[in-house]
Structure 1
Amino acid sequence: MLRTIKEKILTIVVDNSFVKNSLIFTLFATINNGLNFLLIFLLSGYLSKQAFGELNLFSTILLVFTTIIPLGTQGYISVIYYKKNKKYINRIMNTIISLSLIVFLLFSFLFYLLPSSITNYMSIPLEYVYCAIAICFFQVIYLMLLEVFRLEEKPVKYGLLTMTFVGLNIGLTWYLCVQRNYGWEGRALAQFISSIICFGISIYYLRQLGFYIGFNVNRNHLKRITRFGLPLIPHSSTVWLRMGLDRYIINFFQGSSILGSFSFIFNFSGLILMVGTAFNASNSVFIFKNLTSGSPNISVKLKKQVLIMTIAFAVITVISMVVIYGIIKLFMPKYIDAIPYIFPLCAAAFFQCIYYLFVNYIFYYKKTKELMYITFSISIIHVILSICITRYTVVGLAYLNLLSNFIICSCVIYYSNKLYPILRKQNINE
């Protein structure tokens, strides 16, 4: 009996490319994120709370400019990949790269004109602000190659490329932070060097796949991709508004030491998001391919998938909370004051994972403007409440994160279900 069940499970995994790819993506994501979290764990013990807080401010700048440098246009590739030929996609890629270079140069010039203002606002030295936006530009092509591997359903190549980037990051970080005693700045320099190396590797492999990288702006393509991408800047900025700006607010009202404790739990709650993003890497491809081809009974499959993954994410969230609590109690007593943040930040990550199950329908139907309205409006309210709450309690801010993620998740579920009603029995004609 047990052998029969094992054989059935093995058959499902081997014969079902979606399940197999999901498992491979999750495996590589687990390894990569596990290594990253191990590094963060080690750095949190090596760096002071203040330095750890400053490192998170640098990470926040990366978070913001990752979307701003390409003006949110990179997601357009996944939407058209199954509808257009390689030559057309290549032209779109080169338009995105050219646009990213222009934006990068404009911001560099702006920072050159206003150095003191930028330093005061960002709370880190200006040279590391330049470092951050340079990393974001170099990663445009790296992320482009990852997107091609993902859409071509080549999870092994995708995973090996990410492991290369993570391996370089970890090796250089350990050398610069610990061996050379550069502090948090060593982590920033490690990310900068790693991004340059992966930039070169990505150009080489894209050429091997038949995509020739150059700088060329096509007006018609520019209109299409910016119409899709520009609403995603406010949308993507909501991640910074709800998570990144919160760190600056904590730093302003409570200081970098409290920020270090909050960031410690926030980084560990990323274990939950790791699973959600890994699953989404294959799930979004599955959704786009089936909606494009008009596969029969896809609505039933997607409905079952939502139910199963919701249960899985809930179980992972509970396990993560227990593990984080145990790590603090047994190994990291200096972060004992961070325990009250565990439940709200982990629960917020859970709702972010559920959000991933539904947001792809909004991207597929190119309703990015409507998505922006949902996320940006809620995030603005979040910021206002954050300023009011954080001066009194950081625990209250953690619960505000939970509430904001829950409301955004609920709104996205409602709107995506109007576009493609997988939560209702009847489907609409596309």
Structure 2
Amino acid sequence: MGLNKFLGQGTIYLFGSMLSAAVPFLLLPFLARWLGPADFGVVGNFVSLVGVLGAAIGLSTHGYIPVAYYRDGPQSLGQVVGGVTGISLMGLGGALFLVTLFGGPIEAFSLIPAEWLWLVALAAAGQFLIAAALAVFQTLQRPWAYITLQISYAALLSALSVALILFTKFGWEGRAMGQVIAVSLVVAVAFLYLSVRIPIDWRPSYWPLRKLLRFGAPLLPHAMAAIAMASMDRFILTSVEGARQLGFYVAAAQIASLVIMAATAGNQAWLPWLYGRLAANSDTADRELVRMTYLVFACLLATALGLILITPWLMPFVAGSQFVGAVPLLRLLALATAMNAAYLFVAAHLFYHERTGLLSVVSLTAAVFQFAVTYVLGKCLGVEGVAGGTAIGALFYWLLTWTVAARQRPLPWFRALRSFRH
């Protein structure tokens, strides 16, 4: 894929991601006011738990879809999609068993009643299958289908959540049920569409389970560590400060997430372009790749700085005057999300070289570091310490991943910097 096509598809992905993010973002002022800080904090924990279980349920095997397509050929796509779906269904059974067995301890640290935890498992399985469908569209370079699915899910989730909160007696439970219903409907439509477009092989005897498990199993520690880094701040904050401060934090984090949503959109076009540059294995392609990486980093930093500048006006405008205490949190979390976004563009090198085990080591190391920093700063400084620890942990994760990725294949990282000066 040439640079012009990469930029064109990147623009489409960016448009879709920004629009899908805009739907829940526009509802944030209303949900924050309707639910209040306490219930809004529980919603944040629900979303975090969905992320944790989603990583375990599918073993991140959807990441093998583009690898199989580019390495084994288009004919492998149907078998891989069938295998990914089968693994996710088995994972869902395991997740339901775990939340039933450990409902009490999970309720203690998440504030989600044990009898509602089955919703977490269903939402997690549904989100993984949506990610698998998106991976197929990305691999086939069909950005319009990708963003249609993305926007449809965001709109349906928002509409159902609002309806259940406004017209029933539910609070955070309405948001949880809305997510489960939304993922169920979207997954059904997406896989019906895919089954018409590609010959999905649903027979277990033909599932490429060995390849998928060999790819996904080493990634499980990475996925769990990455999700832990994305959610540990909320659980630490729950134990340190309680539900009200958690609500401030979740509101700030949701606004800051606009940075990483935009970066994720760009990353959808980045992956096939990156793989093409790495496969070319030429000095020209290498220099182009490095320069584009530095340009991406600069754009992310500029976006975070811009968000920091408008924070005093943005936070009370979006969430209301009762959330004005979240202004300093948003400044710190804007930097954290920018560095988490920068991580995405260097981690892709390790996926290309199939060094998923090494990526797991990096992620576990970063998770331990972030937990220690966040917990200590949270105990000493409260909610702002948790936000600061999150930012420091994100910086460490990005730099460590970049360092390890750079060792997999020599690229002109320093030569490209010198060329910018001239």
After TM superposition, is the score higher than 0.5?
yes
CA contact (8 A) 2:375 2:386 kept: no
Structure 2 match to 1:298: 285
Closer/same/farther in 2, CA of residues 213 and 162 from structure 1, 3 Å limit: farther
How far the C-alpha of 1:355 sits from its partner, in A, is 1.2
| TM-score for both structures, normalised by structure 2 | 0.91
Aligned to 2:409: 420
Distance between the aligned counterparts of 2:341 and 2:414, measured in 1? 24
Displacement of 1:65 in angstroms is 1.2
What is the match of residue 3 of structure 1? none
- Matching residue's letter, 2:104: S
- Equivalent in the alignment of 1:91: 79
Structure 1: how far apart are the matches of 2:65 and 2:144? 20
Partner of 1:74: 62
CA shift, 1:144, in A, is 1.9
Look up the equivalent residue of 1:210 and give its one-letter code.
I
**Distance (Å, rounded) in 2 between the aligned partners of 1:140 and 1:340:** 33
Whether 1:377 and 2:365 are equivalent positions in the alignment is: yes
Does the 8 Å CA contact 1:268/1:324 hold for their aligned counterparts?
no
Tell me if the contact between 1:149 and 1:158 (Cα under 8 Å) persists in the aligned partners: yes
Report whether the alignment pairs 1:233 with 2:220: yes
Q: Is the 8 A contact 1:207 1:213 kept in 2?
A: no
Out of 398, 403, 409, the position equivalent to 2:387 is 398
> Does the Cα contact within 8 Å between 1:95 and 1:217 map onto a contact in 2?
no
Question: Which deviates more, 335-344 or 187-196?
Answer: 335-344
Shift of 1:213: 5.2
- Of residues 136, 139, 146 in structure 2, which corresponds to 1:158? 146
Structure that is richer in helix per residue = 2
Aligned to 1:168: 156
Distance 1:203 1:223, change over 3 A: same
In the TM superposition, what whole-angstrom CA distance separates every residue of 1:36-73 from its partner, at most 9, and x where no partner exists?
Answer: 21222321121111100111110011110111101121
TM superposition shift of 1:296: 6.6
Find out whether 1:252 has 2:239 as its counterpart. Answer: yes
Which residue number in structure 1 is paired with residue 419 of structure 2? none
Question: How far 1:328 sits from its partner (Å)?
Answer: 2.6
Judged with a 3 Å threshold, the aligned counterparts in structure 2 of structure 1 residues 259 and 83 are, in CA distance, closer, same or farther, namely same
For 1:138 and 1:79, the matched residues in 2 are separated by 22
Task: Answer yes or no: is 1:341 the counterpart of 2:317.
Answer: no
The amino acid that maps onto 1:149 is: F
Retained in 2: the 8 A contact 1:119–1:126? yes
**8 Å CA contact 2:13, 2:268 repeated in 1:** yes
Q: Does the C-alpha gap of structure 1 residues 214 and 417 become closer, same or farther in structure 2, counting only changes over 3 Å?
A: same
2:276 — aligned with what?
289
The change in CA–CA distance for 1:306 and 1:336 in structure 2 (over 3 A counts) is same
Kindly indicate whether residue 250 of structure 2 is the aligned counterpart of residue 263 of structure 1: yes
Pair 1:338–1:88, CA change in 2 (3 A): same
Cα deviation 1:17-37 (Å, max 9, x = unaligned) = 111100111011111111121
What is the CA-CA distance between 1:181 and the residue it aligns to? Answer: 4.0
Per the TM alignment, residue 420 of structure 1 is displaced from its structure 2 partner at its CA by 3.1
Structure 1's 116 and 350: CA in aligned 2 closer, same or farther, altered over 3 A?
closer
The AA in structure 2 aligned to 1:304 is R
Structure 1 residues 199 and 345: alpha-carbon distance in aligned structure 2, compared to 1, 3 A threshold: same
Query: How many percent identity over aligned positions?
Result: 21
Q: CA deviation at 1:107?
A: 2.4
Q: Structure 1 residues 145-154 or 359-368, which shifts more?
A: 145-154
Counterpart of 1:131 in structure 2 is 119
| TM-score, with structure 1 as normaliser | 0.90
Amino acid at match of 1:282: A
Q: Deviations over 1:49-104 (max 9, x none)?
A: 11001111100111101111011211111222112234423222222222221121
Cα RMSD, aligned residues only: 2.2
User: Residue 182 of structure 2 aligns with which residue?
Assistant: 194
Please tell me the residue identity of whatever aligns with 2:390.
Answer: N
Hey, what does 2:200 align to over in structure 1? Answer: 212
Query: Tell me, what secondary structure is at the counterpart of 1:130?
Result: helix
The one-letter code matched in structure 1 to 2:327 is I
Separation in structure 1 between the aligned mates of residue 122 and residue 77 of structure 2, nearest angstrom: 25
Shift of residue 268, structure 1, vs aligned partner: 0.9
Specify the code of the residue in structure 2 equivalent to 1:420: R
